[in-house]
Amino acid sequence: MDQPKIKLKIVQTGDPVLRRGTRELSPEEIKSDSIQQLIELMRETMRAAPGVGLAAPQVGVPLQLAVIEDRPEYMNDYSPAELAERQRKPIDFHVIINPKLSISGDSSVEFFEGCLSVPGFAALVRRGRKVRVECLNERAEPVTIEAEGWYARILQHEIDHLNGKLYLDRADMRSFTTVDNLYQGENSDVADLPRGEHE
């Protein structure tokens, strides 16, 4: 019989750790047992939520580390047209550490976002359509990520967490709504918060 997976507690908005900012990790720290265990626990916590990304401050740890994964099953409720509009495709599990983000070009797009640290709500957020991220992976190897569409949005959302920002800081607050209201009535055809999972 499989052992039950251990999950971390996800910190909720109002906790100072979400606003404090984070520190970089050295290659030696990244390779340590404690950080490798943290990565594994964050992966299990993100999947259990379920979510497409989780930053270390969201589990109370002020480090420049986030995990990302957009699983195929998260897209089951979307039509091909909706997925194309969001430029959304599955993303394999990976880790970003000490990321440096730059927006590529001046094209931006606005969609609804939610957050595991602000559960039950969503708002429209304008983000860059394409980004470049230079970071380290879980083996302390340098990695450059070129991303667009939904993947670019996830990266921007998670890196904001590492800089003490929430999506609410960038949101059009007139669009702020409960998730339940978002999926009812006239809004249901434009809702873009991933159904059943958040960042």
* Cβ-based burial of 6 (10 A; exposed 0-12, middle 13-18, buried ≥19): exposed
Active site residue 158: yes
Q: How many Å apart are CA 149 and CA 9, to the nearest integer?
A: 29
Angle CA 108–109–112, to nearest 5: 145
Q: Do strands 118-128 and 108-115 pair parallel, antiparallel, or not at all (unpaired)? A: antiparallel
Q: How far is CA 167 from CA 25, 42, 76, 117, 130, in A?
A: 24, 20, 25, 10, 18
Q: Catalytic residue among 158, 186, 197, 199, which? A: 158
The helix/strand count (H/E) of the chain reads as 5, 8
* Cβ-based burial of 115 (10 A; exposed 0-12, middle 13-18, buried ≥19): buried
Catalytic residues: 158
